[in-house]
Amino acid sequence: MKTLNFRVLKKSSEIIENEGLGILNSTDLKYYKFDTTCLSGKWAKSIGEQVELPFKTMIYGKGGSGKSSYAIQLATYLSKNLDKRVLYVADEEKVGYLLNEKLERFNAHNNNLDVVNSIDESINKFSDYDFVIFDSATNIGLEPELFENFISQFPVTSSVAILQATKEGYFRGSNSWEHLFDVKIRFENGKSFTEKSWRFGKIKTSFEICPKIVLN
C-alpha cells in the first residue's frame, strides 16, 4: 500500500466560520435556498432524482465488474449534461491508452472533464471542481479518516470513491467507510445495484454497464 500525503489537509478558518447554519426556527428554514440538482433517467434511478450538493457516493466490487465504466459514464453525464466540472483521478489505471479507449467508448471527451494520474498531482486543484472521482480509493490508500479530511477541506465538492472488493464481495477497508457516504452502490458481473441511499430515500435498482449506452 502506497503512502498517501493527504494529512496536510486542515480546516481553514473560513470553512469553520461558515460551517453549519446554527439553531433556526422552522419557519425561517423555508426561506433558505439549498444547492440541489436534478438527475434524470438511469441516474435518477441509480442515485436519486433530486439530490443536495455536495453528495458522496461509494461504488465497490471485484475487478472487472464494471466500476470504472460506470464511473466514466457518470462523469460524462455530470460534465456534459449538467455542465459540472469533473476531475477523474485515475490512480489505478493511469492516464494512458486504456483510459482513453474507455473515454472514446462512452463519448466522454469534453472540456468539463479532466483526468489525472494521482492525488499528488491534483490535490491543490480540487476546489476548482464540482466532482472528484477517486479510481480507486483503495489503490490510492485513501482511508476513512483521510476522506473525512477531504470532505472538511473541500465542503462544496461532491465525490465518488471506488473501493475494491474482497473475495467474498464486501468492500475492502474499515466499516467506517459506509457511514461517510450518501449512496452505496455494489457492482457485480457488469451490473450495479444501489444498496443504500441515506439522504435521497431508499433506492433498490440495478444498472447494466453497456458499451453502447445512450446517456440521458
What are the backbone angles phi and psi of residue 168, rounded to the nearest 5°?
Answer: -80, -10
| Dihedral sign of CA atoms 20, 51, 83, 91 in order | positive
Identify the band that residue 206 occupies on the pLDDT scale cut at 50, 70 and 90: low
pLDDT for 15 beyond 60: no
- CA 160 – CA 46 distance, rounded (Å): 13
Give me the amino acid identity at 43: W
35-89 pLDDT per residue, tens: 889 999 989 888 988 888 999 999 999 988 999 999 999 999 999 999 999 999 9
Give yes or no for residue 10 having a pLDDT over 50. Answer: no
In order, the DSSP letters of 72-96 are HHHHHIIIIIS---EEEE-TTT-SS
Task: Please give the single-letter amino acid code of residue 88.
Answer: Y
**Res 162 pLDDT > 80:** yes
Kindly list the structural domains of the chain, giving each domain's residue range(s) and its CATH number in brackets, ordered by start: 36-208 (3.40.50.300)
Q: What is the mean pLDDT of residues 143-153?
A: 91
Residue 129 grid cell: 471542481
Interatomic CA distance for residues 116 and 134, integer angstroms: 10
pLDDT score recorded for residue 197 = 73
Residue 122 has pLDDT above 50, yes or no: yes
Of the chain, the end-to-end C-alpha distance in Å amounts to: 38
Which pLDDT band holds residue 33 (cuts at 50, 70, 90)? confident
